A and B are shown apart, each in its own frame.
Chain A
Amino acid sequence: MVFSSVDFILFFSILLYILYLIKDNVSKKKVILFSSLFFYGYWDYRYLLLLMISIVVDFYCGRKIFEEDSERKQKYFLLISIFVNLGLLGIFKYYNFFIDSLNVVFSGSLKNLDLILPIGISFYTFQTMSYTIDIYRKKIKPEKSFLDFAIYVSFFPQLIAGPIVRARQFLPQLKNNIELKRENLEIGFQIFLFGLVKKLIIADRLGYYVDSVLKNYAYYSGWTIGLAIVSFTIQLYCDFSGYSDMAIGLGKMLGFKIPVNFKLPITAINISDFWSRWHITLSRWLRDYVYIPLRKKTKYKMKYLVLLFTMILCGLWHGANWNFVLWGTYLGIWQIIHFQINKRKKFRLPTFLAWLLTYFLLNVSGAIFRITNISMFIDVFKRIITGEPGIAWIYPPIIPLLIVFAIGTWLRKKNNNRYPIINLNTLSGAFVIVFVIFAIFFWNPTTLNPFIYFQF
């Protein structure tokens, strides 16, 4: 079920109504858990089993890690948790990729598994792993209530495409009464609409242009392809951050706080700055559970290698394909270059130029992300650099969309990245909200486009 579908709006309205009718907190939690499982099962009920395995194993391991006195046994249960989660990921997400790569290297003919990637698996496995690791590190205590833990893992607003919520951020919220407050509903609804606008009006329209050009790039002129690449960077941002906004909005409506996942990454002035703004919950996860532990265990000189390794892992998290490995490597190298320049402090670009350079580098990274075929990638850039003649085409709606996006980004930056929340009890507030609903209704694309990050 996609947030932007009529099915979801119906599903969520019914859920809100049921929660409004129920007074007992435990029953409300049960309804939320059941809704989350229904939401996930609506896509493919068979994969509910994987989600359940992850919930049961990590709940059990979390408790055992806490209860056991000997460190050896604690480690043993931690390893079970990691093994199960990475095992699920390995089989369902990476198995075919490794087999294909081995077949290419050794000219073998090992068979692929006929499996569909379970939606959201990269998100919920990372979430549950952070839970057991945090218990092992004695940062949190294990959750006593299985119901609460199951809600934490399967909470539908962030189940499929994040943000990756830590246990210590979410579980304490379940100890409070779940109440539908008018203020939360109003704010959450507006954040949800904000995400819908980003996804349906901006990302999907840009996506149409990007797909049309890149599908037949050989016919288009260099600058048309360049514009498509620039559009893709914005499409990717609006698509993913739109989903995160919707998740945050839905959580807010139900009375939960979901952490922010984006802080205007398009305004970053260097690649390190970009990673502190883009998919924040993933970059922090990698920092806390991969980068810092590895740094502690390796020599100081190795720090750039560790960083590069983390970034490659980050790329691989996004997808089981070599272009994602390249994407992670590319961004890692630029981060290392930035650290080196920063260390010497001899040379600093003016902010605008630094932004422009970063934006250019991000567009190249966007191209690596989008184009899965290396030879096509080389062809595309050859056409852009040589200014190859061909069809020059701008899909008319992208001009107003890019202008709206630029103004919106500028306004949000001025407003400290706060959501544009208005008072819905005034006539102007009512007018704006009805206007946005009309805009979404009339300007959304007819066909339903899945979110890009669903594939991860």
Chain B
Amino acid sequence: MKKYLIALILNIIIWNFILGTYNMFPKTSDDLTFGRHFISDAKIVNRIEGNAVNYTNNYGYLDDDFIKEEDNIIILGDSITEANQVRKEEKYVQRLEAKWEGKGIDLKVHNFAVAGKNAADYIYFGPKYLEEFNPEYVIIQLTVNDILDSFHPYNNNIYIDEQSRLVPYESFSTLFKYKNEFTTMNPLFYNTYVKLKSYLINRSNQQGIRLRLLQKDIDQYNIIDEKKVNFVLSKLKEVYGEKLIILYFHNISLEEQYNGQIDDDIYYEYYTFIKQYCINNQIHLIDTTYSMLTHFNKTGKLINGFVNHRIGTGHLNLEGHRVVAQVIDDYFIQYIEDRWVQNN
């Protein structure tokens, strides 16, 4: 028994070192190229919206072919923007383009979003995007995925080094250098927690109680690490420079009288922090929150998914895509006018 106790203590020390130094199996950026690599004639059937047939372009995105010579805007984001269950012409990206065509604005908008991607990916692939596509503007859609996967201090799967690289794919020495940079929790405890949590979530998926557990799980994320958020945002700014425009989605919860209100949980802290950061550092921010809230309270029409009293979670429905296209349009028209005034 004594031998096993010593063996256990020794292992705790060693595993603390191993897990803290090199998280062997990072969960982001499965491959080092951009784009979702669908088989070219992949068909995705959506049960809610009807059939949406998705075809990928020459870069593997659910979009039209990309032509470098045109004035392009690329939109990076996760499943909210990718919207693979929505017919192409109804996605906010295509709606926006149609609006601009009507107004004589000659900008092509490209949906380069891929489900599950987050800020770390946009930083990592940034130079590649700029070199390959040379866009006029880059709109980066941020939401809960980014908070959980890129900004959150408990997530030590992603390290971004000084050259804006994801560290797990780089040298051992860089890993070692950054090993505790963004992690406030003991690596062994963190990994044990993550393993047990994933096990419970997987089991609860089978038992059909996923939502409740997920909610409980999300509630435990109650720490905001300003240093990490600052770092990630500064990297985005550094990589994309003046071309960067952030499009932010924040949760809205439903009150008893069928009124929407802004959530005041930990995500709200992230939301206000990110907003403030953008103001302080002159980063363009398109905030969808108030427009979506006003739209809901005024029309009573839901904008997106509905999970545990939160109407602002889940993917956008057709109404949501309409609203978001309008919000971006309003912002851009103002922005273009301001630039015109500045230049003249």
Contacts and interface: CB of A to CB of B under 8 A. Distances in A.
Contact of A435 (B6, B11, B24, B33): B11
A218 B30 contact: no
A395 B4 CA distance: 35
Contacts of A435: 11, 14
Interface stretch (A67-75, A269-277, A438-446): A438-446
Given A216-B39, A427-B7, A442-B191, 16 more contacts: A6-B199, A219-B60, A391-B33, A393-B31, A393-B33, A395-B30, A425-B3, A426-B3, A427-B3, A431-B7, A431-B10, A433-B7, A434-B10, A446-B202, A447-B202, A448-B202
A446 B31 contact: no
A120 to B, nearest CB: 22
Given A212-B30, A218-B40, A391-B31, A397 B7 contact: no
A443 B25 CA distance: 8
B8 interface: yes
A396 B33 CA distance: 14
Contacts of B37: 216, 219, 391
Contacts of B30: 212, 395
B15 interface: yes
B67 interface: no
A397 B25 contact: yes
A219 B36 CA distance: 10
A205 interface: yes
Q: For the side of the interface on B, what is the size category?
A: 20 to 34
Given A391-B31, A393-B33, A435-B14, A427 B195 contact: no
Contact of A430 (B3, B14, B38): B3
Contacts of B8: 434
B202 A427 contact: no
B22 to A, nearest CB: 10
B126 interface: no
Interface in A406-456: 425-427, 430-431, 433-435, 438, 441-443, 446-448
A393 B37 CA distance: 13
Interface of A: 6, 205, 212, 215-216, 218-219, 391, 393, 395-397, 400, 425-427, 430-431, 433-435, 438, 441-443, 446-448
21 contacts: A216-B37, A216-B39, A219-B37, A393-B32, A395-B30, A396-B168, A396-B169, A397-B24, A427-B3, A427-B7, A430-B3, A431-B7, A431-B11, A433-B7, A434-B11, A435-B11, A441-B192, A442-B15, A443-B25, A446-B199, A446-B202
A6 B199 CA distance: 9
A441 B198 CA distance: 12
B224 interface: no
B324 to A, nearest CB: 30
Contacts of B4: 430, 434
Contacts of A391: 31, 33, 37
A393 B30 CA distance: 9
A427 to B, nearest CB: 5
Contacts of B24: 396-397, 400, 443
Contacts of B10: 431, 434
Contact of A434 (B7, B19, B31): B7
B40 to A, nearest CB: 7
In this complex, the member of A400, A435, A447 whose beta carbon has the largest number of chain B beta carbons within 10 angstroms is A435
A438 B31 contact: no
Q: Which 10 residue pairs across A and B have the least CB separation, nearest first?
A: A430-B7, A446-B198, A216-B37, A431-B7, A219-B37, A430-B3, A393-B31, A434-B7, A434-B11, A427-B3
A146 B60 CA distance: 61
Contacts of B31: 212, 391, 393, 395
A218 B39 contact: yes
Contacts of B32: 393
Contacts of B15: 438, 442
Given A391-B33, A397-B25, A442 B19 contact: yes
B220 to A, nearest CB: 18
Nearest to A220: B37
A28 B183 CA distance: 51
A441 B195 CA distance: 8
A216 B202 contact: no
A156 to B, nearest CB: 22
A400 B172 CA distance: 13
Nearest to B33: A391
Interface string B247-275: 00000000000000000000000000000
Contacts of A431: 6-7, 10-11
A442 B196 CA distance: 10
Nearest to B203: A6
Contacts of B25: 205, 397, 443
A442 B190 CA distance: 11
Contacts of A216: 37-39
A289 B245 CA distance: 72
B6 A442 contact: no
Nearest to B24: A397
Nearest to A213: B31
B188 to A, nearest CB: 9
A373 B7 CA distance: 50
Contacts of B169: 396
Contacts of A441: 192, 195
Contacts of A212: 30-31
A427 B6 contact: yes
A438 B195 contact: no
A433 B7 CA distance: 9
A438 B15 CA distance: 8
Contacts of A425: 3
Nearest to B8: A434
Contacts of A219: 37, 60
Contacts of B7: 427, 430-431, 433-434
Nearest to B32: A393
Contacts of B14: 435
Given A216-B38, A391-B31, A396-B169, A430 B6 contact: yes
A438 B195 CA distance: 12
Nearest to A446: B198
A206 to B, nearest CB: 12
A133 B188 CA distance: 56
Contacts of B19: 442
A108 B198 CA distance: 48
Contacts of B202: 446-448
Contacts of A442: 15, 19, 191, 195
Contacts of B11: 431, 434-435, 438
Contacts of A396: 24, 26, 168-169
A359 B26 CA distance: 31
- With most chain B CB atoms within 10 A of its CB, the pick from A6, A396, A435, A442 is A442
Nearest to B205: A447
A205 B37 CA distance: 20
Interface string B182-221: 0000000001100100110010000000000000000000
